Amino acid sequence: MIKAGIIGSTGYAGEELVRLLLGHKNTEIVWYGSRSYIDKKYADVYQNMFELVDAKCMDDNMQELAEKADVIFTATPQGLCASLVNEEIISKTKIIDLSADFRIKDVKTYEEWYKIEHKSPEFIQEAVYGLCEINREDIKKARLVANPGCYTTCSILTCYPLVKEGLINPDTIIVDAKSGTSGAGRGAKIDNLFCEVNENIKAYGVATHRHTPEIEEQLGYAAGREIRINFTPHLVPMNRGILVTAYASLAKDVSYEEVKAVYDAYYGKEKFIRVLEKDVCPQTKWVEGSNYVDVNFKIDPRTGRIIMMGALDNLVKGAAGQAVQNMNLMFQEKESEGLELVPMFP
Amino acid sequence: MIKAGIIGSTGYAGEELVRLLLGHKNTEIVWYGSRSYIDKKYADVYQNMFELVDAKCMDDNMQELAEKADVIFTATPQGLCASLVNEEIISKTKIIDLSADFRIKDVKTYEEWYKIEHKSPEFIQEAVYGLCEINREDIKKARLVANPGCYTTCSILTCYPLVKEGLINPDTIIVDAKSGTSGAGRGAKIDNLFCEVNENIKAYGVATHRHTPEIEEQLGYAAGREIRINFTPHLVPMNRGILVTAYASLAKDVSYEEVKAVYDAYYGKEKFIRVLEKDVCPQTKWVEGSNYVDVNFKIDPRTGRIIMMGALDNLVKGAAGQAVQNMNLMFQEKESEGLELVPMFP
Amino acid sequence: MIKAGIIGSTGYAGEELVRLLLGHKNTEIVWYGSRSYIDKKYADVYQNMFELVDAKCMDDNMQELAEKADVIFTATPQGLCASLVNEEIISKTKIIDLSADFRIKDVKTYEEWYKIEHKSPEFIQEAVYGLCEINREDIKKARLVANPGCYTTCSILTCYPLVKEGLINPDTIIVDAKSGTSGAGRGAKIDNLFCEVNENIKAYGVATHRHTPEIEEQLGYAAGREIRINFTPHLVPMNRGILVTAYASLAKDVSYEEVKAVYDAYYGKEKFIRVLEKDVCPQTKWVEGSNYVDVNFKIDPRTGRIIMMGALDNLVKGAAGQAVQNMNLMFQEKESEGLELVPMFP
Amino acid sequence: MIKAGIIGSTGYAGEELVRLLLGHKNTEIVWYGSRSYIDKKYADVYQNMFELVDAKCMDDNMQELAEKADVIFTATPQGLCASLVNEEIISKTKIIDLSADFRIKDVKTYEEWYKIEHKSPEFIQEAVYGLCEINREDIKKARLVANPGCYTTCSILTCYPLVKEGLINPDTIIVDAKSGTSGAGRGAKIDNLFCEVNENIKAYGVATHRHTPEIEEQLGYAAGREIRINFTPHLVPMNRGILVTAYASLAKDVSYEEVKAVYDAYYGKEKFIRVLEKDVCPQTKWVEGSNYVDVNFKIDPRTGRIIMMGALDNLVKGAAGQAVQNMNLMFQEKESEGLELVPMFP
């Protein structure tokens, strides 16, 4: 039985972790951390957990938690995990950090985009970027996993095979992403009120969103060199889901079949990545509640570009689901344990 | 391994059955019936099933199906199941009918409210009304189960203990119900288009909705006599969920504690019925995707009435989930097998 | 030109007032009051007003405002208007209060339900309850108008003719109301976040909502005696709209035609109340953005009850629209000036 | 008084035309054409029009209509207007065609993208492309106006000044567009059911959408040569609104101020185009119900690209509002008559 502690269990990603871990055969949640709700019953914060979770919320005591837990999930604002982690803790327990603290290898880049001083840069090199399908073997051996961002997971997986194989010019990549509102978290902000989001769509963080360098770094590894892309997120009036529509110029003349073969080569055996059939566009609803990423593409011979598309549930494959997948890898569990969820429709 | 066939597998309730049965350890779906999509791949009709279901849709051949399946689910329009069932079939296989054909014991009442001639009234007496928490023992022995309606499941379970115990005057019951749009089915009708439903709420079938006699019959059994109630359904701009707000005059002076004790006596040991804590109102979102019914109540001493509330997911406990629960009872499976789904939030 | 000042102009009702008054031929807004956004450009708070409103937000200085404005709208939390009003102010300017401060004639009832001490009870008697269709003549002469609540406007207008004519037993009235989320205001609360409201419905304030005594008082005048009713509000995932489904026992045997004739007698000449055709149920979408209230009813001979239904836009007829209608009456403008808005669909 | 006839008055665009023309001082609707609802009361098809429109729906008799109307709006499927128009009709009345029939000057391009034979190519040259802000003078003299598409209006106006001034390389333009569901029309299709659209987002018509050549043609005029772009539409779970996010490589090094000056030069005096303040992103909700287009841009010095954004209400500036604006120009009315609608929020 893996003993799991969650710091930040009352955010949306934290709560999704609870949902998933409750369905995991070999995991027991031993710590429902939530600085905002200390001593409050977890099921009073999330009424769906009534009669399912009996525990109360606890403080963010990582020291104590390291004694009790085999793995700690930090589903917290940027900066918190970096400020709490140290060698003593990490020698006792594994950490899966759902924040951005250990995703970016270059501290300056992190500090520039996040406007935060990094409190434990000494762990950055050790941290493994937890994109399971790409870094599977490294994750298995990791003590500290940097769980990828929601937008980045979708963006990278959508473009990865074509970048890696050199089929597209990586500097022409433009990622236009659309996200459900749970990605904005459970903070009480006017911008996220129902009446502000409903019947509305907008871009935000244009040319400045912090997932940009993360995508660039990872796709840069695939390209074998530094790259610069455009990334524009949008807020969509729905709870869950990210859709990525990515554009790039083809590096050479390719047919549908050739590109399809590349996607299949990379993802054909991946349980959680589904390369759709010709001309079927990914839809966020088709993956809702599940750990799947649906990807597909369309070549536009008129412009010499390719349009790559990907859809996932931002709280599952984009956060908690991938975190559980990482845990499974780190603890030699079946990779899909607790994640064999059929997408819910409608 | 229970071999299950589904007639009407491409409606929303049918598809939800597929979702649930794919997660059921001891069931195999052997027949994806769908008159509208014969020979089409099931996963082309419901793209969420891509790589999960490989089968093609088949015709509604109950004769053949009876040979192949241990249980047939009919998730079809009213009248179809009654027109297909016969002694030969029912002697070979069990039937769980999600339509209204066998719910109402009085044929005339059925024919009056449904405007359909009943084609096999000889099975009505045998059919067991599949409200698991009320009729558990009978269901275990049944060959033919009439799976309750979505509104009715929620309405009956919300009021049942107080009617049974005589705490309310059953003739004063008024059920004001609100449903998500999946209850209206997947038919291509203007009234159910996104733009007609979104940003809108309306009552419909006022004083004429066909779930009325079903609620009256079942609550009448609890009351020990015939009763007449008011039932008003409303269409709400959401996919899933039914909320029932029911009003009745108290038959005697009772305290919160007394009423709570009654609910607990009936439902305290029921896994899928959660009696909420004082002053917590049920919300459909807190049960979405799960087989739970959340109930609670509030006494209004000013008017001598009690307001009873219940919430469920119309496609799960209101349809497919209850059908699976019935199947589990009929086949001596663990009652919650395949149904241990944590509600998904948000 | 009527000079209008708005206190609380950055709430949803305040902003709707701005929208309506910008379309009013004879009104000029001279004061955009907003304690939260003092000195901020109004169009920065509500970007829809970009290039339409050039003003900045100002403090709640009623003294100064009384000098500048012919009419002051207070779209503020309960208690504020009562704390600011005095004889000097009210002798200089007219006040239309969109809060509850002057709606209830009995101070004790107000203080009991609102848990606030009333700061200027001496004006309660003078205040006219601004339900235009019922109190038109008194409104014309008023200095201080208590603009009715959103739920109450809909509830009262839906039931009024039948109570007044004695066709229903007023003590059997049960009002089940459903509201869009703008009724909850623009405050940054977790409960009103998109992800909490979307795909969800719940009752709230069961047996304790503060619009209850307001409905009772007004329908009590119609009945000629004190009455007690049940009122249950629900939160619906839409921006605007209130739907009321009201139940009552008929006091005598009546036909559809008789009841229709009563509604027509009261509302036939009312521009903003539309009595729908037989069997057409009001829908909030059919009145969105307009000052209309759509009402209809259905007799249930089985139970001897009548179901009365009404729909309005909570921000228009339920708040700002009715406030403008009151202003028009008070200033001898055409009653519909600025309010001839065709409902927007879809 | 301009006598206006509408062919296709029961589609969403047709109904929006009715809403707008009812608020136009000098227009009278003399013909509510609707092949699907002949002889049915218009207000029975659109209940919001109850007591506002008394007329019945009529057949598509353009011959008769030409006698009665000063202007005919055709809000009909592609091909219909082209099949009905002839010299006799057009010599008697003006036509504003909301379909695509006369938008594209090259017949072959039209027939290729629309898969329809053009039935009256002889009028294509005469037809004026009704993008008011660009072609104002020609529209004033036109007999036949091709009202632009919803996506195209938004896409062209968003990019036009920068293409015209040569600030961007037009062949690098990528338009990622997001639309509310009313753009899909009122046809009863499964894809547009509430449950299919709600909580979902998808791209469609990738690399093949028929608004592509229309955008290319118009921006090509601005560029002074043929161009090829990418255009990808998406379906968003909201009723109204189009958001365009357009990407292009800058042709030279420019500052924010320089680009802003260009937008202001083109749109500064345009009532219906609002160039937002720095860093404010257009949101569809801020223009809902109105004829405004909100545009803005962001330079990304890292990639040398500019991100241009535009938002409009697809049924107003994207269809019926622009049609009315065109009518005003053609009939020497004030250009904004009937269109001075304040955006409705929330």
Residues of B in contact with C283 (CB under 8 A): 200-202
Dihedral sign of CA atoms C15, C20, C23, C28 in order = negative
d(CA B298, CA C232): 11
pLDDT number for residue C116: 94
d(CA D286, CA D277): 14
Mutate one of B22, B48, B263, B288 to test the A interface: name it (highest A CB count within 10 A).
Answer: B48
Number of H helices, E strands in chain A: 12, 13
- Cβ-nearest to D47 among C46, C47, C283: C283
User: How do residues C260-298 score in pLDDT, each as one tens digit?
Assistant: 999 999 999 999 999 999 999 999 999 999 999 999 999
Nearest-Cα residue of chain A relative to residue B282:
A47
Residue percentage of chain A with pLDDT more than 90: 100
Determine the distance in angstroms separating the CA of D201 from the nearest CA of chain B, rounded to an integer. 13
**Size of the A and D interface in Cβ pairs below 8 Å:** 146
User: How do residues C319-330 score in pLDDT, each as one tens digit?
Assistant: 999 999 999 999
pLDDT number for residue A1: 95
Chains with at least 3 CB pairs less than 8 angstroms from chain C: A, B, D
pLDDT number for residue A270: 98
pLDDT confidence bin for D323, thresholds 50/70/90: very high
Residues of A in contact with D155 (CB under 8 A): none
pLDDT number for residue B85: 95
pLDDT number for residue C217: 98
Distances (CA, A) of C346 to B103, C286, D315: 38, 9, 9
Residue percentage of chain C with pLDDT more than 90: 100
Mutate one of C48, C195, C240 to test the A interface: name it (highest A CB count within 10 A).
Answer: C195
Determine the distance in angstroms separating the CA of B36 from the nearest CA of chain D, rounded to an integer. 13
Chains with at least 3 CB pairs less than 8 angstroms from chain D: A, B, C
Does B283 sit within 8 Å of A47, measured CB to CB? yes
Angle at B24 between CA B23 and CA B27, to 5 degrees: 125
User: How do residues A88-112 score in pLDDT, each as one tens digit?
Assistant: 999 999 999 999 999 999 999 999 9
Determine the distance in angstroms separating the CA of A87 from the nearest CA of chain C, rounded to an integer. 37
pLDDT number for residue A198: 98
Chains with at least 3 CB pairs less than 8 angstroms from chain A: B, C, D
d(CA C193, CA C9): 22
- Cβ-nearest to D346 among A196, A284, A309: A196
Chains with at least 3 CB pairs less than 8 angstroms from chain B: A, C, D
Nearest-Cα residue of chain C relative to residue D10:
C345
pLDDT confidence bin for C132, thresholds 50/70/90: very high
Mean pLDDT of all residues in A324-336: 98
Does C307 sit within 8 Å of B201, measured CB to CB? no
Q: Quick count: other Cβ atoms within 10 Å of Cβ B346?
A: 24
Q: Record the tokens describing residue A308, joined without a space.
A: 């790559």
Mean pLDDT of all residues in B256-272: 98
Instruction: Classify residue D312 as exposed, middle or buried by CB count within 10 Å of its CB (0-12, 13-18, 19+).
Output: buried
- Cβ-nearest to C346 among D12, D50, D276: D12
Residues of C in contact with A195 (CB under 8 A): 12, 181-182, 186, 192, 239
- Cβ-nearest to C239 among B196, B199, B302: B199
Does B284 sit within 8 Å of C230, measured CB to CB? no
d(CA C84, CA C62): 7
Nearest-Cα residue of chain D relative to residue C339:
D23
Mean pLDDT of all residues in B24-43: 98
Determine the distance in angstroms separating the CA of B181 from the nearest CA of chain D, rounded to an integer. 7
Residues of D in contact with C269 (CB under 8 A): none
Residues of A in contact with D198 (CB under 8 A): 238, 346
- Its ipTM equals 0.97
- Cβ-nearest to D201 among A203, A207, A243: A243
Mutate one of C175, C198, C200 to test the B interface: name it (highest B CB count within 10 A).
Answer: C200
Does D193 sit within 8 Å of B188, measured CB to CB? yes
pLDDT number for residue C330: 98
Residues of A in contact with D302 (CB under 8 A): 207, 228
Does C344 sit within 8 Å of D287, measured CB to CB? no
What average pLDDT does chain A have?
97
Alpha helices in chain D (DSSP H): 12-22, 42-45, 62-68, 80-84, 87-92, 107-114, 132-140, 150-164, 194-197, 211-223, 256-267, 321-330
Number of H helices, E strands in chain D: 12, 13
Does B207 sit within 8 Å of C298, measured CB to CB? yes
Q: Record the tokens describing residue A208, joined without a space.
A: 């400045």
Mean pLDDT of all residues in C171-178: 98
Residues of D in contact with B189 (CB under 8 A): 188
3-class secondary structure per residue, chain C:
CEEEEEECCCCHHHHHHHHHHHCCCCEEEEEEECHHHCCCEHHHHCHHHCCCCCCECECCCHHHHHHHCCEEEECCCCCHHHHHCCHHHHHHCEEEECCCCCCCCCHHHHHHHHCCCCCCHHHCCCCEECCHHHHHHHHHCCCEEECCCHHHHHHHHHHHHHHHCCCECHHHCEEEEEECHHHHCCCCCHHHEHHHHCCCCEECCCCCCCHHHHHHHHHHHHHCCCCCCEEEEEECCCCCCEEEEEEEEECCCCCHHHHHHHHHHHHCCCCCEEECCCCCCCEHHHHCCCCCEEEEEEEECCCCEEEEEEEECCCHHHHHHHHHHHHHHHCCCCCCCCCCCCCCCC
Domains of chain C: 2-126 (3.40.50.720), 151-313 (3.30.360.10)
Mutate one of A151, A176, A232 to test the D interface: name it (highest D CB count within 10 A).
Answer: A176
Does A19 sit within 8 Å of B50, measured CB to CB? no
Does D15 sit within 8 Å of C345, measured CB to CB? yes
What average pLDDT does chain C have?
97
User: How do residues D139-152 score in pLDDT, each as one tens digit?
Assistant: 999 999 999 999 99
Which residues of D make CB contacts under 8 Å with B?
A: 12, 181-182, 186, 188-190, 192-199, 237-239
- Cβ-nearest to A239 among C181, C199, C239: C199
pTM of the entire predicted model: 0.98
User: How do residues B199-251 score in pLDDT, each as one tens digit?
Assistant: 999 999 999 999 999 999 999 999 999 999 999 999 999 999 999 999 999 99
- Cβ-nearest to B298 among C206, C238, C311: C206
Does C238 sit within 8 Å of A198, measured CB to CB? yes
Kindly give, in sequence order, each residue whose CB lies less than 8 Å from that of residue A44, ignoring residues fewer than 6 positions away: none
Q: Which helix (H) or strand (E) holds B259?
A: helix B256-267
Strands C128-129 and C144-146: parallel
Does A237 sit within 8 Å of C195, measured CB to CB? no
Does C196 sit within 8 Å of B346, measured CB to CB? yes
Mean pLDDT of all residues in B323-341: 98
- Cβ-nearest to A345 among B46, B288, B346: B46
Which residues of B make CB contacts under 8 Å with A?
A: 12, 15, 18-19, 22-23, 46-52, 182, 199, 239-240, 274, 276-277, 280, 283, 285-290, 294, 340-346
- Cβ-nearest to B344 among A19, A276, A285: A19
pLDDT number for residue D88: 96
Determine the distance in angstroms separating the CA of D319 from the nearest CA of chain C, rounded to an integer. 14
pLDDT number for residue B287: 98
Mean pLDDT of all residues in A329-338: 98
Determine the distance in angstroms separating the CA of C279 from the nearest CA of chain B, rounded to an integer. 9
d(CA A47, CA C73): 40
Mutate one of B21, B24, B46, B50 to test the A interface: name it (highest A CB count within 10 A).
Answer: B50
